[in-house]
Amino acid sequence: MNWFERCVPDTGTFLHTHWRTAPVVLRPAEPPLELLTGAGLDAILDGGLLRTPYAGLYTADGQIPDERFCPPRLVTGRAVEGYVDGQAVRDLIRDERATLQLRYVDQWYPPVRALAAGIGEQLGRLVEAFYFFSQPGRHGPVHRDDGDLLAIQLGGAKRWQVHAGPADGNWEPVRADEPGPPLLDTVVRTGEILYVPRGFAHTAAAVGDGPSAHLTVVIREAGTGHLRNALLSRISGGITLPGRPLDDDGLLNAAASLIGHLRERLADVTPEDLVARARPHAFSSRPTA
**DSSP-derived secondary structure letter, 76:** T
Q: pLDDT value at position 223?
A: 93
Q: pLDDT value at position 171?
A: 87
- Residues forming beta bridges with residue 101, ordered by sequence position: 56, 132
Residue ranges covered by each domain of the chain: 3-219, 224-281
**pLDDT, tens digit (0-9, with 9 covering 90-100), for 233-275:** 888 888 888 889 999 999 999 999 999 999 998 988 999 999 9
Among 109, 96, 101, CA closest to 84: 101
Q: pLDDT value at position 199?
A: 95
Helical spans, DSSP H, in the chain: 3-7, 11-17, 38-46, 86-96, 105-108, 110-123, 224-236, 248-266, 271-278
Among 166, 100, 158, CA closest to 130: 100
What CATH architecture is 3-219? Sandwich (2.60)
Residues of the chain with pLDDT under 70: 285-289
Q: pLDDT value at position 285?
A: 66
Q: Would you say 200 and 162 are in contact if contact means Cβ atoms under 8 Å apart? A: yes
Q: pLDDT value at position 288?
A: 62
Q: pLDDT value at position 137?
A: 81
Dist. CA 241–CA 261, nearest whole Å: 11
Q: pLDDT value at position 92?
A: 97
Q: Would you say 197 and 147 are in contact if contact means Cβ atoms under 8 Å apart? A: no
**pLDDT, tens digit (0-9, with 9 covering 90-100), for 50-81:** 999 999 999 988 999 999 999 999 999 999 99
